């Protein structure tokens, strides 16, 4: 897809990867609309990007998530693509994770992105794209609920890709490696991990833009 002039909704724009990608898209001439939870970071980024449209939301309010695509289509007078970079880490042996915590992680990492793309699918332009950041689903001890939430999203994206193929809408499952964003140091459940070196988030944001270009 040609980035210049594309109308793109970035959900999770207040996070490290979402924010860097929103900036990279805007630098290449995309018209962006931003959605994020933290109102201060959201307002600051929207101002940096020329007072672009911005809307706050909470991942656990799935109807709010579903409403984001139609909102972006309205404020941008069309919608060529949606990128969802919402997510949270969560750690703990299976027996130590409460059902409530597991449900919360599944909601933020899977049900929220699904709800966003469910709302966006009918309004995104033919030949557009719908992208969600999933990530590592390796079976390491202490990551069962995190890996399950990302695997659920990946499976759902695979089916959506087939459903939208007749309209040539590209459905992208973007799986970065571990990144230096500090995400694993602020987990939703369990104890923060000792910081481990990861890939450069800016390089990953640029790779994400390349992936959209190729879509
Ligand atoms: N960092 C890694 O090593 C890594 C590796 C593979 C995949 N990923 C995935 O990449 C994506 C971006 O992660 P990141 O590293 O950039 O982490 P990040 O900086 O922590 O960004 C996470 C984003 O999710 C949003 N979010 C979390 N809980 C939310 C909630 N309840 N309601 C609304 N928004 C919520 C955050 O909003 P606020 O900031 O406004 O609270 C933020 O915009 C995530 O899907 C993550 O799982 C990360």
**Residue for token digits 């557009």?**
128
Gap between the Cα atoms of 139 and 116, Å rounded: 27
What is the chain's percent helix, strand, coil content, to nearest 5? 45, 15, 40
**Consecutive 10-residue runs of the chain (215 residues): their mean pLDDT?**
97 98 98 98 98 98 98 98 96 95 97 98 98 87 94 98 98 95 87 82 97 94
d(CA 107, CA 198): 25
| 204, 211 contact by CB (below 8 A) | no
Give me the phi and psi of 10, to 5 degrees please.
-110, 115
Which ligand 1 atom sits nearest the alpha carbon of residue 84? 45
- Tell me, yes or no, whether 179 lies in a domain: yes
Q: 146: exposed, middle or buried (C-beta count within 10 Å: 0-12, 13-18, 19+)?
A: buried
What CATH number does the domain containing 167 carry?
3.40.50.720
Contact 190, 97 (CB under 8 A): yes
203 within domain boundaries? yes
pLDDT tens for residues 67-111? 999 999 999 999 999 999 999 999 999 999 999 999 999 999 999
Look at ligand 1, atom 44, and give the residue with the nearest C-alpha: 87
Q: Is 2 part of a structural domain of the chain?
A: no
Label residue 37 exposed, middle or buried (CB < 10 Å: 0-12, 13-18, 19+): middle
Q: Which atom of ligand 1 is least distant from the CA of 58?
A: 32
Instruction: Give me the domain span that covers residue 106.
Output: 7-214
- For residue 14 and ligand 1, the question of a CB distance below 6 A is answered with yes
**What pLDDT, on the 0 to 100 scale, is given for residue 189?**
87
Give the pLDDT of residue 136: 75
Tokens describing residue 53? 């449209």
Is residue 183 in a domain? yes
Q: Of how many residues is the chain composed?
A: 215
Ligand 1 neighbourhood includes 19 CB (under 6 angstroms): no
Which residues are paired to 179 by β-bridges? 199
Instruction: Report if pTM > 0.95.
Output: yes
For residue 141, the SS3 value is coil
> From ligand 1's centre to the CA of 187, what distance in Å?
10
Domain assignment present for 131: yes
In a domain, 28, yes or no: yes
Residue 82: Cβ within 10 Å count: 30
Per-residue pLDDT at 193:
72
Query: Which pLDDT does position 183 carry in this prediction?
Result: 86
Residues near 100 by beta carbon (within 8 Å), at least 6 away in sequence: none
Tell how far the Cα of 42 is from the centroid of ligand 1, in angstroms: 14
SS3 13: coil
Q: Is the CB of 183 under 6 A from ligand 1?
A: yes
The total of structural domains in the chain comes to 1
Which amino acid residue places its CA nearest to atom 30 of ligand 1? Answer: 59
Ligand 1 neighbour 204 (Cβ under 6 A): no
Residue labelled with tokens 């230096």: 180
Asked if residue 20 has its Cβ within 6 Å of ligand 1, the reply is: no
């Amino acid at each position: 897809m040609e980035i210049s002039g594309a109308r793109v909704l970035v959900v999770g724009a207040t996070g490290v990867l979402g924010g860097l990608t929103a900036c990279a898209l805007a630098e290449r001439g995309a018209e962006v609309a931003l959605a994020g939870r933290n109102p201060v970071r959201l307002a600051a980024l929207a101002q940096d990007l020329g007072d672009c449209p911005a809307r706050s939301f909470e991942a656990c309010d799935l109807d709010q998530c579903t409403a984001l695509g139609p909102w972006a289509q309205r404020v941008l007078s069309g919608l060529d693509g949606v990128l969802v970079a919402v997510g949270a880490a969560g750690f703990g042996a299976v027996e130590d994770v409460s059902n409530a915590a597991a449900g919360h992680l599944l909601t933020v990492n899977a049900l929220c992105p699904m709800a966003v793309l469910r709302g966006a699918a009918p309004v995104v332009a033919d030949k557009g794209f719908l992208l969600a950041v999933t990530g590592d689903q390796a079976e390491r001890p202490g990551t069962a609920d995190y890996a399950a939430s990302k695997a659920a999203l990946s499976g759902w994206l695979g089916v959506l890709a087939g459903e939208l193929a007749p309209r040539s809408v590209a459905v992208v499952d973007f799986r970065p490696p571990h990144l230096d964003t500090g995400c694993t140091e602020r987990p939703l459940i369990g104890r923060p991990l000792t910081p481990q070196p990861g890939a450069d988030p800016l390089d990953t944001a640029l790779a994400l833009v390349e992936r959209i270009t190729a879509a």
